[in-house]
Structure 1
Amino acid sequence: MTYTTPVQNLLKQSKNNPNKVYLHQPIARQWQKFTWTEVEHQARCIAKGLQSQGYEKGSRIGILSKNCAHWIISDLAIMMAGYIPVAIFSTAHHNTISFIIKHADLKAIFVGKLDDTSAAESAINPDVLRIAFPYPTASTTESFTSWLSKYPPIENVHQASIDDTATILYTSGSTGKPKGVVLTYKNWVSAAQSTALKFNMTSNDRQMSYLPLAHAVERSLEASSLFIGYEIYFVESLETFIEDLNYGKPTVFGSVPRLWTKFQSQILKNIPEKKLNFLISIPIINKIIAKKIRTKLGLECARYFVSGTAPIPLSLLQWYEKLGINISEAWGMSETSSISCINLPYVKSDLGTIGKPIDCVTMELSKEGEILIKGDAVFSEYYRDTETTSESFTDGWFNTGDCGENTASGAFKIVGRIKDKFKTSKGKYVAPVPIESLLSANTDIDQVCVMGAGLKQPIAIVVLNNSISKANTEAVEKLKNILIDVNNKLESHQKLDYILVCSGVWDIDNGLLTPTLKIKRNAIEQKYMQLINGELLGDIIWESEIASI
């Protein structure tokens, strides 16, 4: 396959489709549209502004903002000017922002849409130039808007080699300090182009950009949109998400397990589970109901549905399938430039697996069952960390840290992270992910984490949907039944001692979820350690009824 850089693709799209709309940005509920020509023009002006600061080629320039059109335009401008973009999660705390600025030696940083500007205000050093996107944001010395009139478009765009460094992606730091994943243009675009071709995408397709652009998955969406020429719609806020989804009507829609669970909860809030199960069991009526639900979500035009970044319960995939939403589970990492393996074309018998590798990578299992990967999309180094880099590769294969299995069809199945396995006091190892997947068959369970290091038996900590309380006898009975059902499927050392129902949710703000909505096992275990180490009696235990942490 011939690889082309994002900037090369932008220039091609602008030349061939100058007046076609590329980016759709909602601002105060009004949709602002950017054509290919406008995106190129603005990127050239911003690139000129950056070059005027006198930075050396290869300097690192940061972007700290929620997703928006200006994020992508600035990303392209940084590359046009010959610099390296470094993305920072918009939810990052002071210490993370400060660490990345220092570690990457950022010369400047674009700051934009942020729910809370205090971390940015305190973490960005005075000697780092701040450029504000046209939204309320942290205080800055320069602005994106003023640069559009202050600087003329750059004439000579930097032409990067396919093997040059394209970007540095910092991991979400769920187990410590973030690591800087150095991606070359070949790494980045090989995954994006291979995925776009696998989805048979055309310039008539549409996608929503709402998962963090600081993450590999969304950066791959950016690169594939430039390669194919399809449109991107942004979301104004969490409150307007469904409204924006209905406006954009994506033809390909990807999400994370946490949000698929949230969608399910909203559907069941409007249609009780028993009633929905009855309606979708009736021929003809089931198709009408399923279409109505997809339409209400804004997904009536979607050809493909995807879930990634964390394991998704098989029961949830099967539930959505009844609604005509066939979710292809995907797998990838920052180190593999986004999706590397996916159940696409969608194969029903491969539900519960991540399918097979895309064209630009090769995957296999080690003797210990760890997934190994190599190919054009796989990175070659962590920024300024030769020791970790060396430890991460074996004979050219990247050690992913994920435990896997191969099915009879040749598909890969994730059974958890190696580091997530824990040993009970009986000396037996337990993998939590398969047990969590079984528990998720109970649609009242919103979040779940199985733990038990040093305990006589594993336990499950859960957060329930819609503030379900102990007074809800039906919900309590369902919890008791799922505990019995799950334990009947487990070996003796895996059986759950009890389910602990938490009083509050786990989210990014309280440090229990990563920016990509994966649970932080270490943080959750530390938070509830005092409780689970005590003698708790019963099968369903409520945090609200025992001593506060």
Structure 2
Amino acid sequence: MTNQNNVTMKTPIQALQDRYQQQPGDVAMVQPLGGDRVRRYTWKEVSDEAHRMASYLRAQGIQSGDRVALVSKNCAEWILADLAIWIAGAVSVPLYPTLVADSVRQILEHSGSRLLFVGKLDDWDIMKDGVPEGIEQVAFSLAPEEVLQSCPVWTDIVAQNEPLTEVAQPGPDDLATIIYTSGTTGTPKGVMHQYRSLSAVGDKVIRVYNLEPSDRMISYLPLSHVAERAAVETALLYVGNTVYFAESLDTFGEDIKRAKPTLFFAVPRIWSKFYQKASEAVPPKKLNTLLKIPLLNKVIKKKVLGAMGLDECRVALSGAAPLSTEIISWFNTLGLEILEVYGMTENFGWSHTTVQGDQQIGWVGTPNDGVECRIGEGGEVLVRSVGNMSGYYKQPDLTAEVLSEDGWLKTGDVGEIDEGGRLRITGRIKEIFKTEKGKYVAPAPIENRLASQPGVELVCVIGANMSQPIALLNLTPEEQGKLSKGAEKEHFTQQLNELLTRVNNQLDPHERLASLVVCKEPWGVENGLVTPTLKLKRNEIEKHYAADLPEWAASRGVIWEH
């Protein structure tokens, strides 16, 4: 592999300086402010505000290596704060904006954070009691009113402070950020990334997608997650393109149409929602018929993609979990090739990418520049990447379990590599279960097939020590609303029975599902059944429904939880 010695070690701070010198008047970020109002930040303004906030941090006694946390939904000031933390010489600690108080306290205390930026949040009340006494808070402009009234506010601070001139000059081995994993099985772990990780990915991400300053992205997945941090924030700094922010879930449709992204990254849940919504408007069979009419073909494609805001998208990416074959094929018919990518917090998202024109559905592509991959014991995927973490914060024993001395990271994923070097993920080591027949089942590919059904939000396949697996379903709020009518429920039950038959026909006998169970209660962060990144907490889901599982496992067909 091309190793760290061949990487251009330009830190994010130096990348910002390049943007300021080369593109001072270009628009870097577009922040919605409600309605049609937006604020456009030029690179000159980005550099100025970040350096002014860095000056304030230093005045508060923040020193080199101190940890500074930030909790907010995506907004321009999130990225400005991240930059200010680095410019001041500190280490940034992002928190998910949906955490509950106990998790907030756990991360702030474990990281030893000295200051907390509080920004745009939906429910500060469930978080605020988790902030330990003695941690100073700074409010973003869009912070909850309570925070704006009680804490120093971003706009006032940048107006009252001169830009910092004694800017930090970190080396490749200095710690840049601690990213706490969302914890599907237990306590969140603090993944440490040195500046070399950020520099390596920043240097290479430009070339893998041929990014240009004219490119546009929309930021809506949590910036506290490594995927958005690498794909959006890092690309922004090293490429100099424009990032648009989404205002809310309710306005996302308009936000994406405003941005008209040329590069768009989404998790399968988002692609599935696009597909489901479009399928309700134009069923796939009807769409295929219309696309066969030469005079209508281009018009229909542009209209369908335009309704999603994706008619100018040239690079479409999907990651975090497998994307359904059905959805990938459907987008292909519209001329949009969704490229599956693979990465994790522990390697700053820098692992595998599907190259345009080399799409093999079900495979996540070949190793990125600076990455080696091999299959280890038990089929586990091992990756050595220039983006690899330096370890878990304050957990050397756990670090040694997953990161070898010569740099190989145990991913916890099971996979295989084809003759072209492409990787396919076939499951998670901790998720694969054995039925009472002694056969192993990987739940993710089955869940993937079921989740493409319109109206289905989340799927959890379980079956350890059962004769056959079963699938628990969570429906979308929209579908739940429709089902209040008896006829609608009967029709949807029929659709689910057809789905069960269709999916079972694609599975080996030991994998086939005995039943689909439609669960009443939404699975959320609040009830502890999903993580802040909307990954299933399988153990918790199984515990939650433990009393009903024997009955459901003995049943057949579609079951509605009473």
Identify the TM-score tier after normalising by the shorter chain. Answer: over 0.9
Are 2:187 and 1:177 equivalent residues in the alignment?
Answer: yes
Are 2:354 and 1:343 equivalent residues in the alignment?
Answer: yes
> What is the Cα-based RMSD across aligned positions, in Å?
1.9
CA apart distance, 1:535? 5.5
Question: Secondary structure of the equivalent of 2:210?
Answer: coil
Are 2:266 and 1:255 equivalent residues in the alignment?
Answer: yes
Residues 542 and 492 of structure 1: CA distance in aligned 2, closer, same or farther (over 3 Å): closer
Q: Which residue of 2 aligns with 1:112?
A: 119
1:433-477 alpha-carbon deviations (Å, 9 max, x no partner): 122233345445442221111212111112345236474455433
Q: For structure 1, which segment, 475-484 or 38-47, has the greater mean C-alpha deviation from structure 2 after superposition? A: 475-484
Are 2:133 and 1:133 equivalent residues in the alignment?
Answer: no
CA–CA distance in structure 2, aligned partners of residues 535 and 117 of structure 1? 38
Aligned counterparts, 1:75-86, within 5 A: 75-86=82-93
Are 2:224 and 1:230 equivalent residues in the alignment?
Answer: no
Q: Which residue of 1 aligns with 2:4?
A: none
CA–CA distance in structure 1, aligned partners of residues 474 and 86 of structure 2? 43
1:152-174 alpha-carbon deviations (Å, 9 max, x no partner): 11111111112211111000112
Question: Please, which of 206, 217, 220 is the counterpart of residue 216 of structure 2?
Answer: 206
Instruction: Report the residue type matching 2:539 in the other structure.
Output: N
CA–CA distance in structure 2, aligned partners of residues 525 and 171 of structure 1? 22
Q: Which residue of 2 aligns with 1:72?
A: 79
Question: Please, which of 13, 17, 29 is the counterpart of residue 19 of structure 2?
Answer: 13
Residues 53 and 141 of structure 1: CA distance in aligned 2, closer, same or farther (over 3 Å): same
CA–CA distance in structure 2, aligned partners of residues 37 and 249 of structure 1? 24
Q: Is the Cα contact below 8 Å between 2:493 and 2:558 reproduced in 1?
A: no
Instruction: Report the residue type matching 1:33 in the other structure.
Output: R
CA–CA distance in structure 2, aligned partners of residues 76 and 445 of structure 1? 39
List, as ranges, runs of 4+ consecutive aligned residues in structure 1 with deviation greater than 6 Å.
Answer: none
1:250-284 alpha-carbon deviations (Å, 9 max, x no partner): 11001110111111121122223442233234334
Question: Secondary structure of the equivalent of 1:338?
Answer: coil
Question: Secondary structure of the equivalent of 1:416?
Answer: strand
Q: Which residue of 2 aligns with 1:91?
A: 98
Are 2:405 and 1:397 equivalent residues in the alignment?
Answer: no
Are 2:445 and 1:434 equivalent residues in the alignment?
Answer: yes
Are 2:535 and 1:518 equivalent residues in the alignment?
Answer: yes
CA apart distance, 1:481? 2.9
CA apart distance, 1:376? 1.3
1:161-219 alpha-carbon deviations (Å, 9 max, x no partner): 12211111000112111100000111123123322210000111111111111111111
Q: Which residue of 1 aligns with 2:153?
A: 143
Q: Is the Cα contact below 8 Å between 1:290 and 1:324 reproduced in 2?
A: yes
Instruction: Report the residue type matching 1:320 in the other structure.
Output: F
Q: Which residue of 1 aligns with 2:48?
A: 41
Q: Is the Cα contact below 8 Å between 1:191 and 1:340 reproduced in 2?
A: no
Question: Secondary structure of the equivalent of 1:25?
Answer: strand
Question: Secondary structure of the equivalent of 1:400?
Answer: strand
Are 2:279 and 1:268 equivalent residues in the alignment?
Answer: yes
Q: For structure 1, which segment, 238-247 or 264-273, has the greater mean C-alpha deviation from structure 2 after superposition? A: 264-273
Instruction: Report the residue type matching 2:15 in the other structure.
Output: N
Are 2:484 and 1:478 equivalent residues in the alignment?
Answer: no
Aligned counterparts, 1:293-372, within 5 A: 293-348=304-359, 350-372=360-382
Residues 18 and 488 of structure 1: CA distance in aligned 2, closer, same or farther (over 3 Å): closer
Are 2:394 and 1:384 equivalent residues in the alignment?
Answer: yes
Instruction: Report the residue type matching 1:514 in the other structure.
Output: T
Q: Is the Cα contact below 8 Å between 1:423 and 1:430 reproduced in 2?
A: yes
Are 2:518 and 1:501 equivalent residues in the alignment?
Answer: yes
Instruction: Report the residue type matching 1:68 in the other structure.
Output: C
Question: Please, which of 178, 191, 200 is the counterpart of residue 190 of structure 1?
Answer: 200
1:356-390 alpha-carbon deviations (Å, 9 max, x no partner): 11102111111421110112111121000011001
CA apart distance, 1:290? 1.5
Instruction: Report the residue type matching 1:128 in the other structure.
Output: I
Residues 535 and 293 of structure 1: CA distance in aligned 2, closer, same or farther (over 3 Å): closer
CA–CA distance in structure 2, aligned partners of residues 151 and 3 of structure 1? 30
Residues 440 and 283 of structure 1: CA distance in aligned 2, closer, same or farther (over 3 Å): farther
Q: Which residue of 1 aligns with 2:32?
A: 26
Question: Secondary structure of the equivalent of 2:378?
Answer: coil
CA–CA distance in structure 2, aligned partners of residues 471 and 356 of structure 1? 48
Residues 284 and 440 of structure 1: CA distance in aligned 2, closer, same or farther (over 3 Å): farther
CA–CA distance in structure 1, aligned partners of residues 522 and 332 of structure 2? 27
Q: Which residue of 1 aligns with 2:3?
A: none
Instruction: Report the residue type matching 1:222 in the other structure.
Output: E
- Unaligned 5+ runs, structure 1: none
Q: For structure 1, which segment, 223-232 or 440-449, has the greater mean C-alpha deviation from structure 2 after superposition? A: 440-449
CA apart distance, 1:530? 1.9
CA–CA distance in structure 1, aligned partners of residues 414 and 151 of structure 2? 48
Instruction: Report the residue type matching 2:249 in the other structure.
Output: L
CA–CA distance in structure 2, aligned partners of residues 127 and 464 of structure 1? 43
CA–CA distance in structure 2, aligned partners of residues 87 and 136 of structure 1? 16
1:216-239 alpha-carbon deviations (Å, 9 max, x no partner): 111112112111111111011111
Are 2:130 and 1:123 equivalent residues in the alignment?
Answer: yes
CA–CA distance in structure 1, aligned partners of residues 62 and 455 of structure 2? 54
Instruction: Report the residue type matching 1:257 in the other structure.
Output: P
CA–CA distance in structure 1, aligned partners of residues 518 and 338 of structure 2? 29
Q: Is the Cα contact below 8 Å between 1:480 and 1:539 reproduced in 2?
A: no
Are 2:14 and 1:3 equivalent residues in the alignment?
Answer: no
Q: For structure 1, which segment, 299-308 or 419-428, has the greater mean C-alpha deviation from structure 2 after superposition? A: 419-428
1:395-419 alpha-carbon deviations (Å, 9 max, x no partner): 5311000011123432100111100
Q: Structure 2 length as normaliser, TM-score?
A: 0.93
Number of aligned positions between the proteins = 544
1:506-534 alpha-carbon deviations (Å, 9 max, x no partner): 34444333222222222222222222222
